Amino acid sequence: MMTTNSKKVFITGTDTDVGKTVVSCAVLDYANKLGLKTVGLKPISAGCELTSVGLRNEDAVLLQQHASQLLDYKIVNPIAYQAPIAPHIAAHNQGESIDLALVNKSLSLVPDDIEITVIEGAGGWHLPISMNRNNTDNSHLFSSWVAENELDVILVVGIKLGCLNHAILSAQAIAHSGANLIGWIANSPTTDIANYDDMIATLKVALAAPLMGEMPYFSSIEDKNKNSANYLDLTSYLSL
């Protein structure tokens, strides 16, 4: 088994719908194949389905399924909203506010013997968690919580027109937050992406963090679940 200290890695993206969940599940699968004990968390979610057991988020359920150790759903996804909109707006519309104490409690309930905790963000890096426009610091952004908890960060870049600017700005914002960007992963949202190789080459130069994988477009869920981990290389990170 590859030796590793307990690691907590936060998966963020250049935007919403760029493949954070695909990558998060692939990271879990990669670590599972090494025999590591893993769990996945989706602390804040929106666009949930109301079921007989409460609100359930598709991304959170997938993380729960791909982890090697089963956690109660309320630990995996402590903050959930049914409306498919920005979580802080969904909270505001319900007369609530997002309470990060719930996220802290969720993280504290991860068993001590877990070797890899994968935490998937919502939207992009600077996810607002408050409607308060009077804040003079960045405490109204979820990214501040990530930095304060000293989580490692992997940036998912959806390779498409406009991704170069989004990726460079996101990497700069992560660095400015004081968080540790350990790498980035390219994800293909479609087939036959124009100038794919040139965009990857540009980002390899522009981003200081290493490329940790190139995820192709998967035509089926079965193929995605079976093969996505094969396109990652986390050897250096997990051996530290």
Catalytic residues: 42
Rounded to whole angstroms, how far apart are CA atoms 212 and 232? 6
Determine the Cα angle at 24 with ends 51 and 83, to 5°.
35
Give start and end residues of each alpha helix (H) in 58-132. Answer: 58-66, 73-76, 87-93, 100-108
DSSP string for residues in 1-63: ------EEEEEEESSTTSSHHHHHHHHHHHHHHTT--EEEE--EEES-EEETTEEE-HHHHHH
Rounded to whole angstroms, how far apart are CA atoms 68 and 220? 23
